[in-house]
Amino acid sequence: MRALFVALLLVYASGSGKVAGANGAKGNRFVCTAVPAGTDLSCPVETTNRVQSTSPQEEELRNTIIQLRETILQQKETIVSQQGTIKELNSKLARCEADVRSRGSARRKDYSKNTMGDLPRDPTESVEQLGKTMQSLKDRLESLELRTNTSNGAFPSELRDLLKRRLSDLEGQLLTRVAELEEEKSQLYNETAAHRQRTENTLNSLLERITELEKSNSAFKSPEDFKVALPLRTNYLYGRIKKSLPEMYAFTVCMWLKSSASPGIGTPFSYGVPGQANEIVLIEWGNSPMELLVNDKVAQLPLSVSDGRWHHICITWTTRDGFWEAYQDGERLGTGENLAPWHPIKPGGVIILGQEQDIAGGRFDATQAFVGELSHFNMWDRVLRPIDISAMANCSAYMPGNVVPWVDANVEVFGGATKAALEICEERLFDS
Ligand SMILES: *[C@@H]1O[C@H](CO)[C@@H](O)[C@H](O)[C@H]1NC(C)=O
Ligand SMILES: *[C@@H]1O[C@H](CO)[C@@H](O)[C@H](O)[C@H]1NC(C)=O
Ligand SMILES: *[C@@H]1O[C@H](CO)[C@@H](O)[C@H](O)[C@H]1NC(C)=O
pLDDT digits (tens, 9 = 90+) for 261-317: 888 999 999 999 999 999 999 999 888 999 999 999 999 999 999 899 999 999 999
Q: Which residue has the higher pLDDT, 96 or 87?
A: 87
pLDDT at position 17 is: 38
Residue 146 has a pLDDT of: 66
Residue 407 makes CB contacts below 8 A (sequence gap 6+) with: 223, 224, 400
The one-letter amino acid code at 415 reads G
Ligand 1 shell residues, CB under 6 Å: 83, 142, 145-146, 149
Spatial contact of 109 and 92, defined as CB atoms under 8 Å apart: no
Residue from 79, 87, 145 whose mutation best tests the ligand 1 pocket (most atoms within 8 A of CB): 145
Identify the residue whose C-alpha is closest to ligand 2 atom 7: 186
Which amino acid type is present at position 118?
D
Nearest ligand to residue 186 Cα: 2
pLDDT at position 37: 53
- The average confidence (pLDDT) of the chain is 78
Return the number of other C-beta atoms located less than 10 Å from residue 420's C-beta: 12
Q: Is a pLDDT exceeding 60 seen at residue 51? A: no
The per-residue pLDDT for 38 is: 52
Of these ranges, 94-98, 103-107, 415-419, the one predicted with the greatest mean pLDDT is 415-419
150: confidence class by pLDDT, cuts 50, 70, 90: low
Q: Say whether pTM exceeds 0.75.
A: no
> What pLDDT, on a 0 to 100 scale, did the predictor assign at position 187?
86
Residue 83, SS3 per DSSP:
helix
Reported as a single tens digit per residue, the pLDDT across 204-240 is 888 787 777 666 555 677 888 899 999 988 888 999 9
- Please state the separation of Cα 175 from the chain's center in Å: 34
Asked whether residue 330 carries a pLDDT value surpassing 60, the answer given is yes
**Total Cβ atoms within 10 A of residue 271:** 28
Instruction: Tell me what the mean pLDDT of segment 322-332 comes to.
Output: 96
Sign of CA dihedral 24, 27, 28, 31: positive
Q: Are 358 and 291 in contact (CB under 8 A)?
A: no
What is the pLDDT averaged over residues 160-165? Answer: 74
Report the pLDDT value the prediction gives residue 421, as an integer from 0 to 100: 87
Q: What is the model's pLDDT at position 156?
A: 62
Maximum CA pair distance of the chain?
174
What span, in angstroms and rounded, lies between the C-alpha atoms of 70 and 82?
18
Minimum-distance ligand 3 atom for the alpha carbon of 388: 4
At residue 348, φ and ψ (nearest 5 deg) are 75, 20
Eight-class DSSP state of 248: B
Please tell me the least confidently modeled range out of 24-33, 148-157, 183-192, 402-411: 24-33
Does ligand 3 lie within 6 Å of residue 391's CB atom? yes
The residue among 143 and 357 whose pLDDT is bigger is 357
Task: With a cut of 50, say whether residue 148 has pLDDT above it.
Answer: yes
CA of 89 to the centre of ligand 1 (A): 13
| Strand, coil or helix: 274 | coil
Average pLDDT over residues 15-33: 42
Give 47-53 contacts, CB < 8 A, sequence gap 24+.
51/19
- Residue range 122-126: mean pLDDT, rounded: 59
pLDDT at 125 over 70: no
Closest ligand 2 atom, CA of 189?
Answer: 1
**pLDDT attached to residue 300:** 96
Q: What is the pLDDT of residue 100?
A: 61
Lowest mean pLDDT among 73-77, 107-111, 191-195, 289-293: 107-111
Rounded mean pLDDT, 18-43 = 46
Instruction: Please compute the mean of the pLDDT values over residues 320-331 and round it to a whole number.
Output: 96
What mean pLDDT do residues 84-99 have? 73
Q: What is the pLDDT of residues 335-362, one digit of tens each?
A: 999 999 999 999 999 999 999 998 887 8
- The answer to whether the Cα torsion of 366, 371, 373, 374 is positive or negative is negative
Confidence of residue 369 (pLDDT cuts 50, 70, 90): very high
Asked if residue 378 lies in contact with residue 399, where contact means CB atoms within 8 angstroms, the answer is yes
Q: Cα–Cα distance between 240 and 263 in angstroms, integer?
A: 24
Check whether domain 226-431 has CATH 3.40.50.12280, yes or no = no
pLDDT: which is higher, 40 or 303: 303
Cα 188 to ligand 2 centroid, rounded to whole Å:
10
* CA nearest ligand 1 atom 2, residue: 149
| Residue-level pLDDT at 46 | 42
The answer to whether 342 touches 322, Cβ cutoff 8 Å, is yes
- The single-letter code of the amino acid at 102 is S
Task: Let me know: does 355 contact 235? Beta carbons within 8 Å.
Answer: yes
* Overall residue count recorded for the chain in this entry: 432
For residue 183, the ligand 2 atom closest to its alpha carbon is 13
Examine the pLDDT at 22 and tell me if it is beyond 50: no
Contact indicator for 238, 364 with CB cutoff of 8 Å: yes
| Residue nearest atom 13 of ligand 1, based on CA coordinates | 146
Segment 186-214 mean pLDDT: 82
